[in-house]
Amino acid sequence: MILTVTPNPSLDRTYEVPALERGAVLRAAADRLDPGGKGVNVSRAAAAAGVRTTAVLPLGGPAGTLLAELLAAEGVDVTAVSILGRTRSNVSLVEPDGTLTKVNAPGPVLTPAESALLLDTVRTCAGNPDWIAACGSLPPGLPPNWYAELVARARTTGARVALDTSGPALAEALPARPDVVKPNAAELAEAVGRPLFTLGDVAAAAEELRSRGAGAVLASLGADGQLLASAHGILHGSAPVAAVRSNAGAGDAALAGFLAAGGSGPEALASALAHGAAAVRLPGSAMPTPADLRPEAVRITPRPLLDRYLTEPAVPGRATVRLEPPAGPVDPTGPIEPTAV
């Protein structure tokens, strides 16, 4: 059983547009409305995979009511903390090549009483979860150390804890020793304060997070696959995707696949890759079912070539950009293929 905590959930409206043109009237080819927020998506992906899951989240206003209804329709148990503010709504624009442009609202301000109730709800929530996944940005009103407190309380339940956040919230939570953290390349570069150009750079950054308290690091590298650093060593994997429809929620689907498969070792990494690759082939933030997975396409490398250059290097303070690899050692296995985030 996977319990998720999403302190800043949302309703996510996704529009598929022919091209993003500033100042123009855009006509969408398709649109959809989904429950949103990283932890919410982990629960949605877990439910789609047939894994029992409960989503703990603060909800307020009509958007909060609708979000709970949409989650229930997808088979997710909802434990809601009622708040005075209104649950936020986000907008995503997806172009035919898979380019995603998002407008995320800041979310409602949580009062100290609402924050305390959310923490207490996680500690007392029934179900004896195998994993507690704490995910996403912090809404206004919550301090950067809020996730550190959540991880500490979650560990008293006996469950293992996964954390997917970034910036100061990630840095302050590491000493609480989450069992696994799941940054993307840009978040990992920000966390260590240096650029990542090779798989070796990613591995070294992941090991630094482990030295600061993380039990394992599952790094999503976009077109460069995923890297898992743990006490058992470094693993790298990829899952080629011919065409990306939308990468919204793909990293969350990958985390759900990782946890559903036990949360450690090559089998869990393979599951994460299969779920992430399936998610990017679906519209909006739709979550994959077992029928969408293509496990035969997943490749796991137990001894990755760490001097292999990333096709999408990450630089702190900048979005991940796609660059040609600089001159250097050539990977004998050939160029890195496009893969799921």
Averaged pLDDT, groups of 10, the chain, 341 residues long: 96 93 93 94 97 96 96 96 96 88 92 95 83 95 95 91 97 98 97 97 98 98 95 95 86 97 97 96 90 96 93 80 42 36 41
* Domain presence at residue 111: yes
* Domain presence at residue 329: no
* Domain presence at residue 322: no
Instruction: Assign residue 41 the CATH number of its domain.
Output: 3.40.1190.20
* Domain presence at residue 338: no
* Domain presence at residue 118: yes
Residues tagged active-site: 252
* Domain presence at residue 320: no
* Domain presence at residue 41: yes
Res 328: pLDDT: 40
Res 126: pLDDT: 63
Give the count of domains, the chain.
1
Q: Which residues contact residue 289 at a Cβ distance below 8 angstroms, ignoring those fewer than 6 apart?
A: 48, 49
* Domain presence at residue 211: yes
The range of the structural domain enclosing residue 210 comes to 2-314
